[in-house]
A = this chain, B = another copy of it.
Amino acid sequence: MKIGVADTTFARVDMGKSAIDQLRACGTGFAIIRRTVPGIKDLPVACKKLIQEEGCEIVIALGMPGPKDKDKQCAHEASTGLIQAQLMTNKHIIEVFVHEDEAKDARELQWLAEQRAKEHAVNAYLMMFRPDDLVRNAGKGLRQGFKDAGPARE
C-alpha cells in the first residue's frame, strides 16, 4: 500500500518531512512516495499523478498560503482543485494548509505547520487502516494544530 506526500518550495516549513515522520511513527505496511512542487496551485495535479501514475491509495497535500488577498485566492483555487482530483479518482487527498497569518510569529508558524502536518498524517493513517476510529470521534470538535474546540454538549 502506498501513501503519497506532496508539498511545496513556497512553504516556509518542511511540512512534508513532518508528515512523513509521523506516518512512519504510526505503523508499517505501506510505502511513502513524495513529490515537491513550486506552489499550492501545483498540488492538485501532483496529487492526482501520485494516485494514478504511482498507485497511491491516499495522498497528503501540504501547503502554506501567504497572508495577502491574492494568496487567499490561490488557496481557494488549490482547494477546489484538490476536491476535483479526489472526485476524479475516488481517493482521499488530505489537505493540510497552514495560512501564514494564522501564527503570530515565525516560531509559532513552524510549530503550527509541523503539528498540523503530523495530526493530519494520523488522520490519513486512520482513514486507511482504522476508519472506525474516525466514526467514534464524529462530532467531537477535533482540530489539527491548535487545540480542539470540543463537543458543544457540556
Q: Does A22 sit at the interface, judged by CB under 8 A? A: no
Name the residue of chain B whose CB is nearest to the CB of A144. B38
Residues on the B chain within 8 Å of A46, using CB:
92
Q: When the two chains form their complex, are residues A44 and B7 in contact, meaning their CB atoms are under 8 A apart?
A: no
Distance (Å) between the CB of A100 and the closest chain B CB?
Answer: 8
Q: Does A113 sit at the interface, judged by CB under 8 A? A: yes
Question: Restricting to A55-107, which residues have a CB under 8 Å from any CB of B?
Answer: 66, 70, 72-88, 90-95, 99, 106-107
Q: Measured between alpha carbons, how far is A77 from B113 in the docked complex, in Å?
A: 22
Distance (Å) between the CB of A139 and the closest chain B CB?
Answer: 3
Q: When the two chains form their complex, are residues A91 and B45 in contact, meaning their CB atoms are under 8 A apart?
A: yes
Q: When the two chains form their complex, are residues A92 and B42 in contact, meaning their CB atoms are under 8 A apart?
A: yes
Q: Does A41 sit at the interface, judged by CB under 8 A? A: yes
Of the candidates B77, B82, B149, the one whose C-beta lies within 8 Å of that of A79 is B77
Given contact pairs A77-B79, A139-B16, A143-B10, A94 touches B45 in the complex (Cβ within 8 A)? no
10 inter-chain pairs at a CB distance below 8 angstroms, sorted by A residue, are A8-B138, A16-B138, A35-B135, A36-B137, A37-B92, A38-B144, A44-B86, A73-B75, A81-B83, A81-B84
A-B pairs, 4 with minimum CB distance? A14-B139, A45-B86, A12-B141, A81-B83
